[in-house]
Amino acid sequence: MPLVINQETIQKTLRRITHEIIEKTDDLSTVLLIGIKNKGVPIAKMIQENIKTYTNTSVEMVELDISMHRDDDKKKPTQPIQIDVNGKICILIDDVLYTGRTVRAAMDAIVEFGRPKKIELVVLIDRGHRELPIRADYVGKNMPTAKDEIVRVQMVGSEAGVYIEKKGTDYGKTN
């Protein structure tokens, strides 16, 4: 399975995205970073740490379980948490944007918690093939892929990086 983006490039990309968020946001105290479980959470944590480093401002970060809002995956949801989103700039964070169904489910979950001022989307990889009219506000890398390919993002460990593999290989998970 070929490595297409290494860990160092991921870190540089997330630093760039963090700077874009800082430049675009007038008041960081209104920002709520929302990492979509499971793959968006480590990315959200890195962005949160970067914001603290660059601005000395602590922004809140929460994990969002969207399983009960999926229309294509009926896993048993974990216990929902309450998130105060009213009047906040909610920045949804995930690893890969593909069909848009994960993002739609996340937005459904967010509006159940209240009325945010705005919802923005950060993705490390945008691979195309949208089934819903959804686009990211902050994109690490546009990576056109074939429908029979899988983009796998590994954020921690010795194999950290972005990989592309063919569906049906023994490498594991799908996005």
User: Per-residue confidence of the chain (175 residues) as pLDDT tens digits?
Assistant: 789 999 999 999 999 999 999 999 999 999 999 999 989 999 999 999 999 999 999 999 999 998 877 555 555 555 456 789 999 999 999 999 999 999 999 999 999 999 999 999 999 999 999 999 999 999 999 999 999 999 999 998 888 999 999 987 655 444 4
For 103-156, give the DSSP string: HHHHHHHHHHH---SEEEEEEEEE----SSS---SEEEEE----TTEEEEEE-S
Level-2 CATH architecture, domain 9-145: 3-Layer(aba) Sandwich (3.40)
Separation between Cα atoms, residue 59 and residue 135, nearest integer Å: 24
Structure tokens that stand for 142 in this block:
């546009």
Catalogue the E-assigned strands of 14-128.
31-36, 60-64, 89-97, 118-126
- Tell me the C-alpha distance between 77 and 98, whole Å: 22
pTM of the entire structure?
Answer: 0.89
